[in-house]
Structure 1
Amino acid sequence: MVSQPINADLQHKAIAIHDRLCAEYGCPIPYFHTLDPLSELVSSLLSHRTKNRDSGRAFKQLVAQFPTWAAVRDAPTAEVETAIAPCTWPEQKAPRIQQVLKLIGDATHNEWSLDFLQDMPIPQARAWLEALPGVGPKTSAAVLCFSQLRGRALPVDSHHHRVAQRLGLISKTLAVGPSHAVLEALLPEDWNAQQIYDHHEVMMLHGQRCCFYNKPACDRCVVLSLCPYGQSR
């Protein structure tokens, strides 16, 4: 990722928001996955535009039906599509996952591990992942942050993005993809991976439980005094 200039006032605000939301939702937050990075990558690809419950079912069905990632790569695409049917657009995701697995198999000489990413600087590891088809900033950050690698990378989902826009941390016109670099630059360099993960989780939880897309509950928002959107309502 390209480094972003740091706005000291915005960084101070981001930290204040983080502290209030952590007090509200309880930090540190336990990691919800303990998958190896390759499994996390496949899981993340299945999760695109899909509810967590459905993508979770699709992932479980996929690994139950195929004993190895090589078996997924080499299977008839229709069988992979059937296995991941609970997710959205399985007809698109099945060939994409097989394409990604072929590239990873070639790159790792069929060792089927992305543990080597642990030895790369985070920007380099993200660039390696984002060279794969269908992998953007959110997926690369998710693989490094959520997997056993426990990397210092900030995923931004739709809830996180909405909350950040309303709080004025990013502009109203900045899309989710480019927002990753801007929002990550606001976090202190000395924060560890757990703090980065906590930040994503509390921003996401706030979007799910208070700062709704429709009719946000501004009257009970713990960061209302820091939110231009809420104050304007």
Structure 2
Amino acid sequence: METVGTLSLTPGEKALRVHERLCVAYGCPIAFFHELDPLSELVSALLSHRTRNRDTGRAFRQLRARFPTWQAVRDAPTAEVQEAIAPVTWPEQKAPRIQAILRELTARRGGDMALDFLGELSVPQARAWLESLPGVGPKTSAAVLLFSRLRMPALPVDSHHYRVAVRLGLISARIPVGPAHALLTALLPPSWDAQQVYDHHEVLMLHGQRCCYYQSPACERCPVLDLCPFGQERMQEVS
């Protein structure tokens, strides 16, 4: 239990209060940014690691333009895949990783690499299946389920989301971003649908991009300042 001003809030209550205020600030519901099939979303998520969205999108489009199917990507010379995804960071690592995953999917699924069957599983089951693939962690598994046309309520946590959550005291700074996925998910109502989970991810990410900057955060205009121990301490220091 945490006391904020005159309010005593559990972490879950605090997360919901933050969600409500940031949804007002950034305009929920927020439209999903695309609707890929889950296998395409998996490849897109793998490309996105440590890469700007613009460059990820360009690399994904180049990859699809050069290779008409994911089977063609799987079987192509790795150098050609690397050339197609050149806009991303570390294409020399991501090209063989993507091909390895496509080969693993082929082996597991008897030649059928489609991931639409994940929609028949629970979110924990689907995430566990995805995370058993080489190089797939919590953020990627959540992105595949939530951002793809499956629209399953799995919560991805990017660097902006994580920074805001730590500063708000929703999780400890000692917890790495990977394990933070489960802890931050546990703060949300289990009845939430994909749109609500997506809104939560998006507003925390947007807040990190537009207000709660890594350096020199704009605490003076933060709509959740009274809920933020980091911001309150910082404002006292600069006053």
| TM-score bracket, shorter-length normalisation | over 0.9
Supply the distance in 1 between the matched residues of 2:28 and 2:194 (Cα, whole angstroms). Answer: 13
Could you tell me which amino acid in structure 2 is paired with residue 118 of structure 1? G
In the other structure, the counterpart of 2:41 is 40
Supply the distance in 1 between the matched residues of 2:96 and 2:190 (Cα, whole angstroms). Answer: 38
SS of the residue corresponding to residue 156 of structure 2 reads coil
* Residue-pair matches, total: 226
1:61 aligns with 2:62: yes
Alignment of 1:105-116 (within 5 A): 105-116=106-117
| Residues 89-148 of structure 1, C-alpha deviations (whole Å, 9 max, x = no match) | 000000000000011122222233100000011111001000111100000000000000
How does the TM-score come out when normalised to structure 1?
0.96
| Residues 30-61 of structure 1, C-alpha deviations (whole Å, 9 max, x = no match) | 00120000000000000001111111111100
Q: Identity rate of aligned residues, in percent?
A: 69
In the other structure, the counterpart of 1:84 is 85
Supply the distance in 1 between the matched residues of 2:128 and 2:166 (Cα, whole angstroms). Answer: 26
In the other structure, the counterpart of 2:24 is 23
Q: Which runs of 4+ in 1 moved over 4 A?
A: none
Supply the distance in 1 between the matched residues of 2:210 and 2:18 (Cα, whole angstroms). Answer: 16
Deviation, structure 1 residue 164: 0.1
In the other structure, the counterpart of 1:173 is 174
In the other structure, the counterpart of 2:154 is 153
In the other structure, the counterpart of 1:215 is 216
Supply the distance in 1 between the matched residues of 2:174 and 2:90 (Cα, whole angstroms). Answer: 27
SS of the residue corresponding to residue 216 of structure 1 reads coil
Where does the alignment leave 5 or more consecutive residues of structure 2 unmatched?
Answer: 1-8, 235-239
Supply the distance in 2 between the matched residues of 1:68 and 1:104 (Cα, whole angstroms). Answer: 14
In the other structure, the counterpart of 2:76 is 75
In the other structure, the counterpart of 1:52 is 53
Could you tell me which amino acid in structure 2 is paired with residue 191 of structure 1? W
Deviation, structure 1 residue 70: 0.5
SS of the residue corresponding to residue 98 of structure 2 reads helix
In the other structure, the counterpart of 1:195 is 196
| Residues 151-198 of structure 1, C-alpha deviations (whole Å, 9 max, x = no match) | 010000000000000000000111110000000000011111110110
Could you tell me which amino acid in structure 1 is paired with residue 51 of structure 2? T
Supply the distance in 2 between the matched residues of 1:190 and 1:87 (Cα, whole angstroms). Answer: 36
SS of the residue corresponding to residue 134 of structure 1 reads coil
| C-alpha RMSD of the superposition | 0.8
Supply the distance in 1 between the matched residues of 2:194 and 2:54 (Cα, whole angstroms). Answer: 25
Could you tell me which amino acid in structure 1 is paired with residue 202 of structure 2? E
Where does the alignment leave 5 or more consecutive residues of structure 1 unmatched?
Answer: 1-7
Supply the distance in 1 between the matched residues of 2:181 and 2:134 (Cα, whole angstroms). Answer: 19
Could you tell me which amino acid in structure 2 is paired with residue 124 of structure 1? Q
How does the TM-score come out when normalised to structure 2?
0.93
Supply the distance in 2 between the matched residues of 1:191 and 1:75 (Cα, whole angstroms). Answer: 41
